[in-house]
Amino acid sequence: MTTTLLTNAILIDPETGTEAPGSLLIAGGRILATGAEAEKAGAESVIDCGGLCLAPGIVDIGVKVCEPGERHKESFGTAGRAAAAGGVTTIVTRPDTNPAIDNPETLEFVTRRAREDAPVRVLPMAALTKAREGREMTEIGFLMDAGAVAFTDCDRVVTDTKVLQRALTYAKARGALVLGHIQEPGLSKGACATSGKFAALKGLSAVSPMAERMGIDRDVSLLEMTGARYHFDQVTTARALPALERAKRNGLDVTAGVSIHHLTLNEYDVSDYRTFFKVKPPLRAEEDRQAVVEAVASGLIDIISSMHTPQDEESKRLPFEEAASGAVGLETLLPAAMRLVHAGDLTLPVLFRALSLNPSKRLGLETGRLTAGAPADLVLFDPHAPFVLDRFKLLSKSKNTPFDSARMQGRVRATFVGGQQVHGEPLNAA
C-alpha cells in the first residue's frame, strides 16, 4: 500500500471549522493522517500542493443525469467528468428521468451505467411515488436494497396528503430519507417568475414567495404526524425561514438545502427574458437571496447543491414562459460559491460544511471530512484564480449555464476520488 503525502496545502476542515496550512497523508484510498503526524510518517511519494486549498470533495445532492431517456442532454460519462472538473466527488442523482427511476430494475440500470462511465461516486435517489404521479408509493424497501439513498418526486409536489402521509410513515419505518419540493402547487401553477416589480414589468406569470412557506407548513405538519426523515430540497425565500427554524427547534428530523443559483443570482438577472436564468423555483428578490445566504452562514440551511439540470438548446431557445426550467451547475458550483466567500458572506470551512460535510452526514456517508479514516475524496483549488466562463468549454453535454461570460474567481486544480486523481493536470510526486 503506497502512501502519498499531500503537502504545502491550506487544509479546509469543515468539522473543526478551521483553515490552516498543513499536510494530508493518504493510502489505500483513505486519509491516514493529517498535520504533523502526516509529515512525520515518511510517505513514499510527496505531492507539493503549492499553497492551494485542499478540502473534502463536494457531495452534490440533486444532480440530474438524463439517463434513462434523454442521453442527448447528459450521460453518466459527461456528468461524471463535469463533476470531477467541478470538485464534486459524489453525485446524488435525481429520479426525474424518462421513465422515472421508480423500480429496482431501472435503478439497477442506472447503477450499472454509473459504474461503467462515471469517474466520481454516484449515489442514486429513487422516486417516492410510482411514475412520480403522487398516487402510490414506490417499493421503498426493494429500492433501498438496490442502493437508493433517498426518495423524492423532485419538482412534483405530492398533492394528495393521504398518499404523502402513508409514504412518509412507510419511509420512517424503513429509515429512508425523503426529499420534498416545498411549493403550494395551486398558487405556483404556471408561474415562471417571483411576484413583484420585475415580473409585473415584464408581464410574466408569477408566484408569491408565500407559496414556499405554505409548502413548508404543510410538510412540517405531516412530519409531526409521521416522524419521517425529511430534507427540503430548496429553501429560497426569507418567509420560509422562520417555519424551518421552528421545525428544527421542535426536534423534527429535518434538514434544508438551497441551490447555488438562488444564493448568487436574483430575479433581475433574467433581464430581457434570458431563459438560462429560468429555474425552479424561480429566482427570487435580492432580500430573499440575502436572507438565504445568512441562513447558510448560520447553519439553518444545511446544504448547498448545484441542482444540475441539463437542457438542450431547443428546450431553452423558446419564449421565456415556454422554455424548460433548470441550469447546469456541476462545474460552476464551486466558483459561484466562491463569490460568497470573496464577498465575506461565508468562510471556506462554513462553505464546505454546506457543500461536503452536511450532505455526507445527512446521507450517512463517511465522506466530507478531512479526518483520519475518511475516504480520500478531495478537491484542490485555487480560491483566487480569475477566469471568464465560456459555456462551450463546459464538459457537460448541455451548456445551459446562467454564468456564461461571467467573471469568476476560484478554479479547481485537481480532484481525487478514493485517493485517485480524476481531474486536473497530473500532480507530480517528488
Query: What is the contact surface with another protein in residues (CB under 8 A)?
Result: 190, 195-197, 199-204, 272-273, 314, 317-322
Reading the block at residue 272, the C-alpha cell is: 430581457
When the beta carbons of 40 and 72 are compared against another protein, the nearer one is 72
Minimum Å gap between C-beta 323 and another protein is: 9
Q: Which three-class secondary structure state does DSSP give residue 84?
A: helix
What are the φ and ψ backbone dihedral angles of 390, each rounded to 5 degrees? Answer: -115, 115
| Nearer CB in complex with another protein: 253/321 | 321
In the complex, least distance from residue 83 CB atom to another protein, rounded to whole angstroms: 31
Closest approach of another protein to the CB of residue 324, in Å: 13
Rounded-to-integer distance, Cα 85 and Cα 411, Å: 9
Measured from the CB atom, the residue of 178 and 191 that comes closer to another protein is 191
Q: How many CB atoms lie within 10 A of CB 104?
A: 20
For residue 223, which amino acid is it?
L
CB of 202 to another protein, least distance (A): 6
CB of 287 to another protein, least distance (A): 13
Contacts 24+ apart (CB under 8 A), 313-318: 313/399, 313/400, 316/275, 316/276, 316/278, 316/400, 317/275, 318/275
- Residues in the chain, overall count: 430
- 3 versus 325: smaller Cβ distance to another protein: 325
Q: Please, what is the minimum distance in Å from the beta carbon of residue 209 to another protein?
A: 12
Q: Between 30 and 202, whose beta carbon lies closer to another protein? A: 202
Q: Which of 15, 12, 10, 11 is nearest to 358 (CA)?
A: 15
Cβ contacts of 276-280, under 8 Å, gap ≥ 24: 276/316, 276/327, 276/400, 276/401, 276/402, 276/404, 277/327, 277/402, 278/192, 278/316, 278/320, 278/323, 278/324, 278/325, 278/326, 279/307, 279/309, 279/325, 279/326, 279/327, 279/402, 280/155, 280/325, 280/326
DSSP code for 71: T
Shortest Å distance, C-beta 320 to another protein:
5
Helix/strand/coil for 167: helix
Q: Which three cell numbers stand for residue 134?
A: 403522487
Nearer to another protein, 286 or 366 (CB): 286
| Nearest CB to another protein, comparing residues 142 and 273 | 273
The enclosing H or E element of 413 equals strand 407-417
Terminal CA-CA length for the chain: 18
Closest approach of another protein to the CB of residue 399, in Å: 16
Comparing CB distances to another protein, the nearer of 20 and 200 is 200
